[in-house]
Amino acid sequence: MPFTNYTNLDFDQIKTEIKNYLRANSNFTDFDFEGSNLSILIDILAYNTYISSFNSNLAVNEVFLDSATVRENVVSLAKNIGYLPRSKAAAKATVSFDISVNNSVSSVKLQPELVCVGRVDDSSYIFSISEEIERSAVNGVASFSNIEIYQGRYLRQQFTVDASLDQRFIIPNANVDTSTIRVYVKNIGQSDPGEQYSLVNNLLNINSLSKIYLIQEVKDEKYEIIFGDGIFGKKLENNSVVTIDYVVTDGRDGNGASNFDFVGSLKDGNGNNITPITTPSVTTVLSARNGAEIESVDSIRYYAPRIYSSQYRAVTARDYEALIKTEIYPNAEIVNVIGGEELDPPEFGTVKIAIKPKNGLYISDFDKQQILSKLSQYTILGINQKITDIKVLYVELDSSIYYDSSKSSTPEDIRTKVMSTLTNFSNSINSSKLGGRFRYSKAVKLIDDSDKNITSNITKILIRRNINALINQFAEYELCYGNQFYVNPDGKNIKSTGFKISSGLFPNAIDATKFVYLTDIPNEDKKTGNLAIIQPSTDPTKNALTIVKSAGVVDYVTGEIRLNLVNITSTELPNNVIEIQAVPNSNDIIALKDLYVSLDIQKSKINMLKDVITSGENTSGILFTDSYYRSSYSNGNLTRKVI
């Protein structure tokens, strides 16, 4: 009889199917499969089937991009649709220095190798250049201004072409920044290093004489250089010499270096080694930035099909996101693209791009210009691109955590675990991103699961935006929170940190020497309200004084605050920052468009309270604290002086 078909890979199920097959055979009618020696053979057959099925399943998974886990397989599958994973990116710094030499030297050449040593905290990193830089010496001084240096070691690899072999040109080092690769081909009779070849990403406009090369990732995160075959690209001649220059880098570890010492090699115009008269002093123009790690397997799986679908054209929002993160600005952590028709008011023919880099909140003006310049190669004519800074929407937790005091954990240990759990949660892609979402139920559950001694928690949510005040300038301010505000008829839904304003617009109301604060006064419809300026009373038993009842407008439905024309002279917090808190109507916080949700752990309040009922200290519950912050919450956050 035929063997029974099975679809379950479980060992016990396979074993049962084998027994059923044997029992149906007349030769094994009287066998006791559980107690006989035949049971051992059945176990062996079941194990063999199980292991074979498991290995087959793994092998089949590696054939598809969505399920492959081995990097070499993922890279190979991505290569089939024309996607080259990002290499490590060397941190780049811009420096300037002067070289003092003898007056007889007419020019100075900075050699493509080690140039500077930079320091980050207690670590030192080497910085190099990949091409020779020459400057004229005037009165014995050669000025090297705004030189871009790469974190890493400059290396050179040479190959002699042997046409009789199926030769491969593989760079023997991992951790290569492919953007620093320079390829030269020296044919017989040519001088060193030969003609420079150019990197291409596709075969458009390539003929049989084009001096081009391509790059592909191979095993162990190394890279192979591929040359033309005489049809697409010039074919290498036999016995020619291929020279490959490149930089091996530490990736993101080099970010932040700002103090540099010169250690470069110099030659004069005739190629002779020279030594500067004095050790050059290096001036840092831009600190090291934009260093990044090699693209992860998850990222390759996500972006490879999207780049393929875009065909290297920026049309849809997803096209922009994929091209910016893979081809233009790999240091981008999050990219959010908004069509002009979605803006308020609409800006037709415009694409608004918000980018958060991996090593901060904002990108520099220089990087913005570079991104827009490179993006022009992929975009459609007639569409304008604008890069804007992200708007950070901070989420603060106000949490009261009950714990069983009869257990071994101390309140501080529990609090530390909670803070660690919340920090990991804040870094998750779902809670901290452009267009992301803070999920209240998950946060509350994570707090409960942080320690087995936690019995419950009561957590409230506050949202915050910061104003960077223009000091001693008349200006209006508008903040969009993207979430509906809670409306307390008595007001105090909006609270700010202190600031001082000139009395010019309010000569009879404002004392310019004292800090004032913002709060709200709801209208009867509870949809809008006035933004009021208040000043704390010198008498601690009295409420704050309302100085200006209509200093702006609050829209509770759309979650917007507008502060009318005002001249801010100073702020209570450093860096001219004014923090404005609001109570959201929903505990789930959504980041719309260019808003970036950030769970602010440092300014969240985590209070530890004994659960006296669970611990058995007071089973009647008389001493149980059931109030939520009966302390200073009603009067604001006194530690931060929020009114």
Confidence (pLDDT) at 55: 77
d(CA 533, CA 426): 33
If pLDDT is split at 50, 70 and 90, which confidence band does 640 have? very low
pLDDT digits (tens, 9 = 90+) for 564-610: 999 999 999 998 999 999 999 999 988 877 788 888 888 999 998 88
In this predicted structure, the answer to whether residue 39 has a pLDDT above a threshold of 80 is no
| 234 contacts 209 by C-beta, under 8 angstroms | yes
Q: Would you state the pLDDT for residue 630? A: 38
What topology does CATH give the domain 312-389? GMP Synthetase; Chain A, domain 3 (3.30.300)
Provide, rounded to the nearest whole percent, the portion of the chain with pLDDT above 70: 89
Please give the Cα distance from 172 to 153 (Å, whole number).
Answer: 14
Q: Give me the pLDDT at residue 90, please.
A: 93
Q: At 413, which helix (H) or strand (E)?
A: helix 411-426
* Average pLDDT of the segment spanning 513-530: 90
> Which of 155, 154, 149 lies closest to 118, judged by CA?
149
Strands 169-170 and 153-160 turn out to be: unpaired
Q: In this model, does residue 377 exceed pLDDT 90?
A: no
> How far is it, in rounded angstroms, from Cα 327 to Cα 585?
41
Segment 502-512 shows an average pLDDT of 69
One-letter amino acid for residue 139 of the chain: N
pLDDT greater at residue 174 or residue 59: 174
Cα distances from 388 to residues 325, 328, 358, 573, 592, in angstroms, run: 16, 16, 16, 25, 15
Entry field: residues in the chain: 643
Place 326 in a pLDDT band, splitting at 50, 70 and 90. confident
Percent of the chain with pLDDT over 90: 40
Q: Could you give the CA distance from residue 448 to residue 409 in angstroms, rounded to a whole number?
A: 14
- For residue 44, the model assigns a pLDDT of 81
- For position 19, what pLDDT does the model report? 76
**Do 484 and 558 touch, CB atoms closer than 8 A?**
yes
453 burial type by CB count under 10 A (0-12 exposed, 13-18 middle, 19+ buried): buried
408-455 pLDDT, tens digit each:
678 889 989 999 998 888 876 444 455 678 889 999 999 999 988 898
Q: For position 7, what pLDDT does the model report?
A: 55
Task: List pLDDT tens digits, range 273-291.
Answer: 998 998 899 999 999 988 8
- Separation CA 78–CA 98 (nearest Å): 46
| Residue whose token pair is 């999207």 | 306
Given a contact cutoff of 8 angstroms between Cβ atoms, the answer to whether 579 and 481 are in contact is: no
Alpha helices in 201-296 (DSSP H): none
CB 69 within 8 A of CB 45: no
Give the model's confidence band at 29: pLDDT under 50 very low, under 70 low, under 90 confident, else very high.
low
What was the pLDDT predicted at 228?
92
Question: Which pLDDT does position 190 carry in this prediction?
Answer: 82
Structural domain spans, the chain? 11-61, 92-152+252-289, 154-248, 312-389, 392-463+604-635, 467-580
Half-sphere exposure of 623 (CA within 13 A, CB side): 11
Residue 4 has pLDDT above 70, yes or no: no
Residue 380 has pLDDT above 90, yes or no: no
569 exposure class (CB count in 10 Å sphere: 0-12, 13-18, 19+) = middle
- Residue 233: is it exposed, middle or buried by C-beta count within 10 angstroms (0-12/13-18/19+)? buried
Interval 193-216: pLDDT, tens: 889 999 987 777 788 999 999 999
